[in-house]
Structure 1
């Protein structure tokens, strides 16, 4: 038998919503990111080493990377030919790669967010610092990657910046060293993570310990917001315990909350981290539901990551339902009252969205969030509390740190229900008309 002829990896993914993000022919196992960031100049100098595995011999492959200057690319330690345009770094190694291989990319420039139909996402400047908000396509704004949610990898992230600033990144802080006016922060992220969930936050932040354990929980925030945060985040350990009761053990080593000194339109989700604006911390718990929502994403979105963006209701519907569960558990409005309110709201909306496939323009439509939560509440009413919560815990445990699809959830729900739920899920997930829901009592 002759040797198989090397092929070129596709410079696109098979995601029907975002085919230009992600690349074919390989998977990344690990990223080593070393970043030097000059705040005043918004200047990023980076070195990324990717350890990847090719499914078949590759003569060429590509990475997602925004408009940086790339002086050098090495593949398995040898210089490689490359071109960089249109957000793609196309690499031709000196010899075809097969099995496990490494790619080293040196890059430098002024990071800017990626423009998308959902606004500008990725690395962005703050008034006095920087943040990363990558969902869904912003990761290439600051490092070369295979930018698709299904390609989850481990990370080591080292960021060097001016010494007065705190750097928070996804993962566990393993080292911190100071030299000549700068400080380097090193984070290790051992759990497999999608590129859009990797984050760096830079600012003049105080650290507030919310809980020392069993899950360490800290908040990083401007000193001026400490008093407001003491109230707004004061129940966070109780929220963590409550969600663990519903969903099973928290899936990561620790949890960080970052509050920027700037206002943000919406909170930002990252693995083991959530980011809020100063406007979300008002000292009156006005936005506590958002705190719950972002924490719930650690189970649904981060540990269980959707295989492609069609399945986004598995992130947002579950996180919204968590808001309702906490509301009831903390003595607020009951879950059924929330369901009644939102069912009445959605039934007045156009019946033109299919929950299991909303389309790229509607990935973040309010109806994906609220109808997703209503579908879960309807399922709970159909199969009963014991089976419903056993299903949620099994779902979170069975696919821990993996990727998931709507079909997998439907199949697992059928096992727990011990009945045929085809008609139920067809109505809720695959038909635009909003089904009725039993909402008697609270």
Structure 2
């Protein structure tokens, strides 16, 4: 993303299409409309197809193919197994081949060594998982790197590559419910994943190190992974780099050890995390550490960034988080932090779990902390409460955008109602034509998703009143903590708490293709 007009994450451009924009109003695109009743019916149909597709019935016969004898007590028998390959995608409506089916990952233990001089990465990743079907084989997502070895439960396994899919065939089938451990050894020159609509994501070599970052996918460029938010897991990272460089990742810092010119940095993320929220930042950084409310605080700013605004913004992280706790409920992850990078290819911010990554362009002479409020809000909405489907990304971005408005009001700036009114009057027609609840795969980072997403929440607030509205937000964060959620579930919760029927409101604001009427204030 070497341009100011970019598609893909949280863009720091005055005219941008996509993510967390350092401007008040940007550009959207067009799309269609779907009603709430239709969406719920489609959801049930799709869910039913998934369940039916995983079930089978088997009969019980004796060795001669005749019915088993019925005289006397029937001995217990082990059901026959029909081992099948796991699907090479979870079936997401927008990205059907993202992730893989047939298993659920509990934990990743990622150990990598990276040399910036040669741009060579060597890694060993242990994937601890449970089979959710009778698996003859299973897939992992891994882009570009060369696989040298694979074992499953300590036994060598056959492995092949099909594009960015690593296909693993264990020596024996894995019955449903079986816990297993796959260890993959790999190496090569990592590279980003290129998407003509959403921009580049993944591993970027830099002058003094590397950055692994991106949404909706990036992790598969540096370790094998089930790369879809529905399969959240815990993580540990051990990252060896030449001594003198810092290697930063997610979660709790575990210190560093030096040996023979290399330093290994350890990190652990024990709060379940979607894979695209993992990050790796290697280079020369000014690091600040501490604790806050019993949790570690770890911030870093690239040495090439002038001291001042970026350092001040990172120091405000815990202050912003404390305010958001009063709105959303308890802080949901195990550490605080942020990383400011200096790379012209990255002009966005991303809510990498516990430690968001920010482009330095956000922190100019007149910098505000709106972007920090946005990324910290994602720790609740997007990280703790994660998506079931990428179509519902407004649940991430609309909530984080609204957090910006709340923070501005709390800090003595523009009130949330004023932010809503400004956008209601000034947003371009193209934004109103694109429904944020069904933006299409190419437009998941459109301005409609962000701004109309935030406006949807304010329209809900005006309609139901402040007390029910903030109870809805806190209950949503609490009931869906560490889980995955959908728009239909949020609407049902809002109706339950408010006692109102809200289909018309959400249909207009999330699925309509024209500007809705101004919401009427409760009471």
Q: TM-score band (shorter)?
A: over 0.9
Cα offset, 1:430, TM superposition? 2.6
Change (3 A) 1:295 1:211: same
CA 211–339 in structure 1, closer or farther in 2 if over 3 Å, else same: farther
1:290 Cα offset (Å): 1.2
Q: Number of paired residues?
A: 439
Give the C-alpha shift of residue 211 in structure 1: 6.2
Q: Does 1:155 align with 2:232?
A: no
Question: Does the CA-based 8 Å contact 2:89-2:98 persist in structure 1?
Answer: yes
Any idea what the Cα deviations from partners look like across 1:328-350, whole Å, max 9, x if unmatched?
Answer: 11001111111011112336336
1:85 correspondence with 2:167: no
CA shift, 1:135, in A, is 1.0
Deviations 1:141-164 (A, max 9, x none): 111111111000011111000110
- What is the rounded CA distance, in whole Å, between the counterparts of 1:337 and 1:391 in structure 2? 22
Matched, 1:410 2:491: yes
Contact 1:207 1:220 in 2 (8 A): yes
Give how far 1:250 is off: 0.9
Counting only pairs closer than 5 Å after superposition, residues 55-204 of structure 1 correspond to structure 2 as 55-98=132-175, 99-116=178-195, 117-204=197-284
Answering whether residue 338 of structure 2 is matched by residue 261 of structure 1, we say: no
Structure-1 separation of matches of 2:133 and 2:309:
55
Alignment partners' CA distance in 2, 1:420 and 1:205: 52
Residue 253 of structure 1, CA deviation:
1.4
Q: How many Å separate the matches in 2 of 1:426 and 1:229?
A: 40
Equivalent residue of 1:349, what SS?
Answer: helix
What's the secondary structure of 1:97's corresponding residue?
coil
Out of 378-387 and 233-242, give the one that drifted further: 233-242
Task: Supply the distance in 1 between the matched residues of 2:339 and 2:363 (Cα, whole angstroms).
Answer: 11
Q: Following the alignment from structure 2 to structure 1, what is the Cα–Cα distance between the partners of residues 295 and 331?
A: 8
Question: In structure 2, what is the Cα distance between the partners aligned to 1:437 and 1:128?
Answer: 52
The reply on whether 1:205 has 2:285 as its aligned counterpart is yes
Aligned mates of 1:49, 1:209 — CA distance in 2: 29
CA contact (8 A) 2:89 2:97 kept: yes
Q: How does 1:269-280 map to 2 (within 5 A)?
A: 269-280=351-362
Q: Is the 8 A contact 1:355 1:432 kept in 2?
A: no
Tell me, in whole angstroms, the C-alpha distance in 2 between the residues paired with 1:254 and 1:18: 31
Give the SS at the match of 2:107.
Answer: strand
Larger radius of gyration: 2
Greater strand proportion = 1
What do residues 162-209 of structure 1 show as CA deviations (whole Å, max 9, x unaligned)?
110111111111242110111101111111111101111111111124
DSSP 3-state at the match of 2:433: coil
Q: Any idea what SS the aligned residue of 1:324 has?
A: helix
1:437: Cα distance to partner? 2.2
Change (3 A) 1:108 1:267: same
Distance 2:515 2:384 in 1: 29
1:236 and 1:211 map into 2 onto residues whose CA distance is 12
Question: Take 2:432 and 2:465, find their aligned partners in 1: how far apart are those partners?
Answer: 28
Could you tell me how far 1:24 is from its partner in structure 2? 1.2
Distance 1:89 1:236 in 2: 39
Gaps of 5+ in 1: none
Cα RMSD (Å) of the superposition? 1.7
What SS class does the counterpart of residue 50 from structure 1 fall into? strand
Using the alignment, how far apart are the partners of 1:9 and 1:222 within structure 2?
A: 42
